[in-house]
Amino acid sequence: MSSADKNLSVFTTNDLPEIGNKKFALVVAEWNSEITGKLFQGAYDTLIKYGALPENIEKGTVPGSFELTLASHWYAQRDDIDAVIALGVVIKGETKHDEYINNAVAQGITNVSIQNNKPVIFGVLTPNSMEQAIARAGGAHGNKGDEAAMTAIKMVGLKDKILVK
């Protein structure tokens, strides 16, 4: 089945960790805010649904997706933050700007996660059109914000399981 035919935001919720004592930072790009706002809401709602406390969710905004890496690094450096979720969208245009931005952000987020030894989640849409972005931000294909939050939940649980023994 192709992605055009299904909701992509399907995930298992078996054996989720307790996250009431975990603190999450959501870093959200302002560019394409009609999309990133929905990604944020999906991530926030998912964190709350699975046990995060509202006071343990912090939001930081950046101008665009390129700036997600540095702001994520700042949050990841904080001892009180357990996971960072970077949310943005880069829509393909007439030039190759999207390829440069997407590659830089993906590599940057990976580096931030490794450097800070904590989950930093890539919740950046890389669609070919606004229609594809809408479909992945609460539309027919689910909400990538939900997926990013679930990934953060699972990763903080795995980290505790592996490193806190």
Beta strand 120-125 pairing with 24-29: unpaired
Catalytic residues: 97
Confidence tier at 9 by pLDDT (50, 70, 90): low
Is pLDDT larger for residue 5 or for residue 105? 105
Task: Read off the pLDDT of residues 44-73 as tens digits, 9 standing for 90 and up.
Answer: 999 999 999 999 999 999 999 999 999 999
CATH class of the domain at 21-163: alpha beta
pLDDT in the model for residue 10: 58
Beta strand 83-89 pairing with 120-125: parallel
Beta strand 24-29 pairing with 83-89: parallel
CA distance 114 to 81: 15
Q: Where are the domains of the chain?
A: 21-163
pLDDT in the model for residue 160: 92
DSSP annotation of 164 reads -
Confidence tier at 138 by pLDDT (50, 70, 90): confident
